[in-house]
Chain A
Amino acid sequence: MIVYVTKRLVIGLVTLLLASVVVFGVLEILPGDPARIMLGMNAGPDALEALRQEMGLNQPAPVRFFQWLAGLVTGDLGRSYTYSSPVIDLVQERLVVSLPLALISLFLSTAIAIPVGVFAASRSGKLSDTLTMGTAQIGIALPNFWLALLLVYVFAVGLRVLPAGGFPGWADPVEAIKSLILPSISLALPQAAILARVTRSAMVETLGEDFIRTARAKGLPRRKVLWRHALRNAMIPVLTILGLQFSFLLAGTIIIENVFYLPGLGRLIFQAINQRDLIVVEGVVMLLVASLILINLAVDICYAIVDPRLRIGR
């Protein structure tokens, strides 16, 4: 187990390091002088020089890379030029919106998908299975921002029960949660459709195996076999997709937060890109990549917990 986790950890760290080279490299080879891009065409030479000095742009690229890397490790992501505050503060401010949004979406999609997938698998080949999976096919094809518009039309414009956008802050938790409901459903439903299909196919495969027949033959109730024995064995592909979905959720927030005018990380990075605030872009992208790698590491460890066979060997 320890060897397995250590190996995954090392692979994760190497990927993270390479990713940081890529992020730094891409923003490095961009045409133009970052200082000029930030200050605009009318900036005087003194202001440009001062900003270059402040950003450390006069030093060679490898030196700046290691300085930036050291900053990342110590949690210093640099200072945003447009917001004139440390990037890490901006991230913290936005995280209180984006993290709950992602977690609620992840919870919703799992809570919908796993029962639906198990249900469809248990009636594999029957009409209810076909109908459920047909609905899932449509769910997969739904662009989340269109779903968002439809939800806004029904619940904000029509029924007037939920806000169409904006975020009131956590001072009023009820209003804050209310403003996150429609965004999370928009993010969760298409993901749930994918997850339900994966759950179903993994379950159908598991249900065909000998140990399931044995469990049924020794008189265990069907319900127990389904949820205890089969689901646990079907979890590996489900976990894989769940890990991948986190990536889609993060990317999804960039669009959904724009639809609902939520002041989250997605909106921060989108605005930072448009304003050429490259320090913010670098920092937030690295943070997202790091969290993605961490999630995948967690998924790998979950594999080992779910399936003890993986603990040894690899």
Chain B
Amino acid sequence: MTIEQTAVDLSQRHVLRRAFSNASFVVGLAITLTIAIVALVSLFWAPYDVTKLSVASRVQGLSWAHPFGTDHLGRDILSMIMLGARNSIAVALVAVGIGMGLGVPLGLWAAARGGWIDEVLMRTNDVIFAFPSLLSAVMITAIFGPGAINAIIAIGIFNIPVFARVARGGALAIWPREFVLAAKACGKGGFLISAEHILPNIANLLLVQATIQFALGILAEAGLSYLGLGAQPPMPSWGRMLFDAQTRIAVAPHLALFPGMAIVLTVLGLNLLGDGLRDAIDPKQRRTL
């Protein structure tokens, strides 16, 4: 355990303490945890089986039996929202994982090597950024076939340059620091230094970006599944539920209300969490961000 690593641990403890005294972080964490728990519960239990259709109980209003009503196929909206949470979170989370898993090493590599490798990687990034991400995601899922897996890939691809850029920017700021010079003097190579010294120091930065991308992923997944390109029935998805609700908006507006609120709440929770985290990491910027 080297000196600089203990310093990092300490600062991270500080960050956590500051985070928990930040209203935005606490509210965001509470919302996010609630939705995560709902999604986890849906793995084992939901009030009704959403694969069972029941014509007799279709398009019902709110009742004790169905707190959020039922849809045009008689499925319980609450159960569908619960399963939809699982779908949304799974897609956005794996997409963030793809972005981080590939983007962060690329960014670290670019920062460590510099020169033409950096130049090539960053210009490639620019090209990917030149494509409107949601449009390209629509193209990918439509061409390779709709479904949750392709939605994950389509959203994940556009997370790669985001994380590469953040990791590179953060790493470039750390490289000139003394402890990196010391590690260099010890004969450590670019890979070891990146993994042992750079990465822990930009972890906070990456975490904040992850919450932002997570929120954007939820919105993107909802958009894709609204267009029929996300998870396929019978797996419920919030976007799909909104699509189904659209034609019945005049007779059953509550069908559109709850899935939309679920999306807003999830994205809001993640954004608040990210904001609070950012304030906690850099209190100096608190007033400006």
Contacts and interface: CB of A to CB of B under 8 A. Distances in A.
Contact of B227 (A125, A205, A258, A293): A258
B130 A251 contact: no
B2 interface: no
A274 B138 CA distance: 10
Nearest to B242: A146
A157 B251 CA distance: 10
A205 B131 CA distance: 31
B260 A19 contact: no
Interface string B124-160: 1011001111111011001100000000000000000
Interface in A1-42: 11, 14-16, 18-19, 22, 30
Nearest to A30: B143
A285 B127 CA distance: 13
A247 B129 CA distance: 10
Interface stretch (B97-105, B172-180, B191-199, B261-269): B261-269
Nearest to B243: A145
Nearest to B270: A141
B127 A15 contact: yes
A268 interface: no
Contacts of B215: 141
B256 interface: yes
Interface in B192-233: 215, 219, 222-223, 226-227
A18 B123 contact: yes
B185 interface: no
Interface in A182-227: 201, 204-205, 208
Contacts of A252: 134
B260 to A, nearest CB: 4
Given A140-B267, A150-B256, A248 B132 contact: yes
Given A204-B288, A251-B133, A143 B222 contact: yes
B30 interface: no
B209 to A, nearest CB: 15
Contact of A146 (B136, B260, B268): B260
B139 A285 contact: yes
Given A137-B272, A143-B219, A149-B249, A255 B127 contact: no
B289 interface: yes
B140 to A, nearest CB: 9
B250 interface: yes
Given A22-B127, A146-B260, A292-B132, 6 more contacts: A11-B126, A30-B143, A146-B256, A153-B249, A254-B135, A259-B246
Interface of B: 123-124, 126-127, 130-136, 138-139, 142-143, 215, 219, 222-223, 226-227, 239, 242, 245-246, 249-250, 253, 256, 259-260, 263-268, 271-272, 275, 287-289
